[in-house]
Amino acid sequence: MAAARTLRIGLIPGDGIGREVIPAGRRILESLPSSLNLKFNFVDLDAGYETFQKTGTALPDKTVDTLKKECDGALFGAVSSPSTKVAGYSSPIVALRKKLDLYANVRPVKTTAGNSNGKPIDLVIVRENTEDLYVKEERTIEGPNGKVAEAIKRISENASFRISNIAGEIALRRQNIRAASPTSTRDQPMVTITHKSNVLSQTDGLFRETARRALAAEKFSSVFVDEQIVDSMVYKLFRQPEFYDVIVAPNLYGDILSDGAAALVGSLGLVPSANVGDGFAIGEPCHGSAPDIEGQGISNPIATIRSVALMLEFLGEEKAAAQIYAAVDGNLDAAQFLTPDMGGKATTQQVLDDVLKRL
């Protein structure tokens, strides 16, 4: 038998319910069937608003260094945003994405067999993760008529190309998986480019053009390429979500679209994401720190468990990922152990146990 592959995983629970769900993610990794021949080392890392309050920085250098030098991947929980402006504080996840050049934010949104009232949704939003308004270059001028603030929206050919390229690759990979499934109804992979080039002809125009060029590559010849203006994309997403496969978008539109898509499947507590760079991936549930339910032991671990699978997928462990997805689908379809956000009464622990049982 071949030597086990050992993956070193950074655990960054962050704030709020991040501390309740990340341990569940760790348990999933520890409990993978031994036939997969995977071993994990874990390292606990700090980031978040509480870290900021204790140390004056929301993202300690040690966290970034350890991830860079010692880890293959990581799990990130959530961070609280202070309710009023706090000098010196800025979101550590946005910084982390940039510092590790995790240029793609991948957000699959999917109904399961038992969980689609209506047509099944199975789409993924591939969000550019390093630029757009997230460069956070802002300034404020005190004018004669009051303050005027400006922010830069930056779109580069480079970043637009690589995000569109990975979107195309994800579309092909999904098609391969579908090809193996007897129930699949889609016969051609599709990528929908989202932009607002009717107003932003240079920035979003560059994104649109570059995406078209990237997706015109020979390797994507089987992919149907389409586009939607962002406002109309939100409309269509809501009216006919079953139509979409891969949606590629600049950072901010991707942020907005992925929350919109999450609403379609019932709860943000179900929706995973991965921040993906070359050879590195951070799994991150999309739900945020959820101060309203913190400490009650009822946060939904599904988004994190799916994020674990998504991270593994991008670390080349597709088989492990598939087993985790199947266990989650089993839990959801049985609908016996669901957290309150899903209309159930189960605790985080009960949902985790049920998924572990199915693994």
Ligand X SMILES: CC(C)[C@H](C(=O)O)[C@@H](O)C(=O)O
Q: If contact means CB under 5 to 8 A according to the sort of partner, which of ligand X, a second copy, none does residue 355 touch?
A: none
Per CB under 6 A, contacts with ligand X among 94-153 are 94
Tell me which of 53, 185, 201, 222 binds a second copy, using CB under 8 A.
201
Told to check if 154 binds a second copy by CB under 8 A, we report yes
Tell me which of 6, 185, 188, 198 binds a second copy, using CB under 8 A.
198
Told to check if 198 binds ligand X by CB under 6 A, we report yes
Strands (E), 196-332: 224-229, 246-249, 274-277, 280-283
Told to check if 30 binds ligand X by CB under 6 A, we report no
Rounded to whole angstroms, the maximal C-alpha distance in the chain is: 75
- Residue 139: enclosing H or E segment and its boundaries? strand 138-143
Distance from chain centroid for Cα 168: 17
Q: How far is the CB of 258 from ligand X (least distance, A)?
A: 6
- Segment lying near ligand X (by CB under 6 A), choices 22-30, 88-96, 139-147, 321-329: 88-96
Tell me 132's DSSP state.
B
d(CA 244, CA 323): 25
Tell me which of 4, 113, 151, 334 binds a second copy, using CB under 8 A.
151
The radius of gyration computed from the CA coordinates of the chain, to the nearest angstrom, equals 20
Quote the tokens at residue 94.
Answer: 């946005």
d(CA 125, CA 246): 6
Is residue 86 within 8 A of residue 79, CB to CB? The reply is no
Of 136, 128, 131, 127, whose CA–CA distance to 155 is shortest? 131
- CB-wise, 228 or 348, nearer to ligand X? 228
Told to check if 257 binds ligand X by CB under 6 A, we report no
Tell me which of 4, 86, 151, 199 binds ligand X, using CB under 6 A.
199
d(CA 294, CA 309): 24
Per CB under 8 A, contacts with a second copy among 249-288 are 252, 255-256, 258-260, 262-264, 268, 288
Told to check if 147 binds a second copy by CB under 8 A, we report yes
Q: If contact means CB under 5 to 8 A according to the sort of partner, which of a second copy, ligand X, none does residue 136 touch?
A: a second copy
List the Cα angle 281/282/287 in 5-degree steps: 140
Applying CB under 6 A, the residues found at the interface with ligand X are: 91, 93-94, 198-199, 231, 255
Applying CB under 8 A, the residues found at the interface with a second copy are: 81, 85, 90-91, 94, 133-134, 136, 138-140, 143, 145-158, 161, 196-203, 205-206, 209, 229-232, 234-239, 252, 255-256, 258-260, 262-264, 268, 288
